[in-house]
Structure 1
Amino acid sequence: MKALKLTITLIAVALAIPLQAQTADEIIANYFENTGGLDNWKSLEGIKMTAKVNQGGMEIPLEIYNLKDGRQMTKITFQGKEIKQGVFDGETLWSHNFMTMKAEKSDAEQTSNFKLNTNDFPDSFVDYKEKGYTVELLGTETIDGTETFKIKLVKEPITVDGNQQDDVSYYFFDKDNFVPIAMQSEIKSGPAKGQVSEVTMSDYQEVSGLYFPFSMTQGVKDGQAQPITIDAIELNPAIADTEFAFPDEVGETEKQ
């Protein structure tokens, strides 16, 4: 009888491993099903978000572009000036310097890491297996009073100070609606190195059959966070290629 019980226990343990992996897959499948369908997400060519970020009580307008071909850009309107941040044309990553207002290219390492993230349009979990990503269900956790499934996502390694490091994020999916309400990851460089960045998402609304969070915060876990409110989302927006091009500063100097 003891041998029989031991055999049953071993079988249960053996079955539990694939069941856990399958559960993670099911959570992600439910996520796409509940937000408009995986095929509809994969058919997207681009997303434009019109938003505002609250900085010290001041609301600053934003336009955020993400395109299927990898091009990205955030436009900030501040004191009547248009400032571009995180502009990527497919090869070059650049931003305006807030002090000098000059366009500056990012270094090779930052550009290489950023280029990896362009694989994630419109969502990191779209075709994650085909991209070589792995997911793991770590159990449940309460986030701001909401019971969630905690899923670990491991993507392609990034390069930090010349060394490859794992690119790991933790997503927290609402157990009732199967949508992510938070994402956490370790900050790998800069003044906040070693701390945990956190993005929260809420107020999901429908846009042409797909559901997006219209309220977000970005910041450090258990620290300061910037609220972002989405005013409108446009799917497959038209935008000129020149918007992403690095400015010809030499040409501008010659004209002066």
Structure 2
Amino acid sequence: MPVLLFVSGHARAGINDPELKDILDRHIEARGGLYAIKDLVSLRSEGDLTKDGEHIADVIIVQKYPDKIRIVMDHDVTKLTLGYDGKTCWFSKSINNHKGDCIKLEGDEQSDIVRESDIIDPLVHYRDTPYTYRLAPAQDVDGSATYVIKITRPDTSGFELYYLSEESLLPIQREVFLPDGNGGTTRYSRSTYADWRTVNGVLLPYLVETQLSSGHSQTLQWETISPNTGVFDYYFKKPD
């Protein structure tokens, strides 16, 4: 699921580790099963974003399989819109309904959006992605034993670690690591997932809490998540 901050035509991921494949397959079953996941073609999520405990925006995120996303954040007279159509990331800002220029995003700004574009998450679609999946050493998270899965995307910098509960097989936490400029990596964000509910047969988290490397924290609380609302591809394209 998205935290604010591909696959047709690409080579599919090949996983040779039978233990990792077994964990991912059990994760898929825990989320609702492959048929329910494949039936979830689009999502429209509406909710509230707070930063350091203060409300900063009403948020709408629309996603479409496999990798399209549009994020709209409204606060008073200001509206921020970000989009990704599977190829191009873009950003626009309007004040009092007066639209500013639409800007193409590249580099780390593009990577931030691409990382959130997977509908549900990149684990449930591992058979169809070009990502690299590796099983990392197991760790405890807040007293819960977890499987740790490292994901590297070909079109973004850094990598992600997903922590799956050994008991429920649901994600407890995700960490994003970015290059530190000295040949290593540093943690950019840590997100925890809670308030799991069933949407169209698939378990999704309605609460995402993120701690940023800057020291700030943000909370995304979904009020509604609507499945398969019907959305055309042009909705995600950069406006002219």
TM-score with structure 1 length normalisation?
0.71
Pairing partner for 1:149 from 147, 150, 154:
147
DSSP-derived class of the 2:121 partner: coil
DSSP-derived class of the 1:238 partner: coil
CA-atom RMSD in angstroms = 3.3
Pairing partner for 1:225 from 217, 232, 238:
217
Cα distance between partner residues in 2 of 1:221 and 1:47? 29
Q: Which has the higher helix share?
A: 1
| Cα 1:152–1:57 shift into 2, 3 Å | closer
> 1:20-71 CA deviation, whole Å, 9 max, x = no partner?
9322222211111011111221222211111111124332211111111533
Does residue 1:46 correspond to 2:46, yes or no?
no
Considering Cα pairs closer than 8 Å and 6+ residues apart, tell me whether 1 or 2 has the greater RCO: 2
> Any unmatched runs of 5+ in structure 2?
1-15
1:70 and 1:121 in contact (8 A); partners too: yes
Query: Paired residue for 1:67?
Result: 64
> 1:107-146 CA deviation, whole Å, 9 max, x = no partner?
4546875796588434212342453433332232121232
Query: Paired residue for 2:163?
Result: 172
Cα distance between partner residues in 1 of 2:113 and 2:213? 26
* Range with bigger deviation, 110-119 or 171-180: 110-119
The correspondence of residues 212-251 of structure 1 with structure 2, limited to 5 A, is 212-220=204-212, 223-239=215-231, 243-248=235-240
TM-score with structure 2 length normalisation?
0.75
Pairing partner for 2:119 from 118, 121, 137:
121
Pairing partner for 1:206 from 198, 201, 208:
198
Alpha-carbon offset, residue 219 of structure 1: 2.9
Pairing partner for 2:186 from 194, 205, 210:
194
* Range with bigger deviation, 113-122 or 124-133: 113-122
1:174 and 1:181 in contact (8 A); partners too: yes
Cα distance between partner residues in 1 of 2:144 and 2:167? 9
Cα distance between partner residues in 2 of 1:118 and 1:194? 19
Alpha-carbon offset, residue 96 of structure 1: 2.4
Cα distance between partner residues in 2 of 1:229 and 1:67? 20
What is the aligned-residue identity percentage?
Answer: 20
> 1:155-182 CA deviation, whole Å, 9 max, x = no partner?
3253xxxxxx5x4211100111001111
Pairing partner for 1:26 from 22, 38, 55:
22
| Cα 1:172–1:195 shift into 2, 3 Å | closer
Cα distance between partner residues in 2 of 1:195 and 1:22? 29
> Any unmatched runs of 5+ in structure 1?
1-19, 159-164, 249-256
Larger Rg: 1
2:84 and 2:117 in contact (8 A); partners too: no
Q: Count matched residues.
A: 219
DSSP-derived class of the 2:35 partner: helix
Alpha-carbon offset, residue 103 of structure 1: 3.5
> 1:84-123 CA deviation, whole Å, 9 max, x = no partner?
1x21244442212488962332245468757965884342
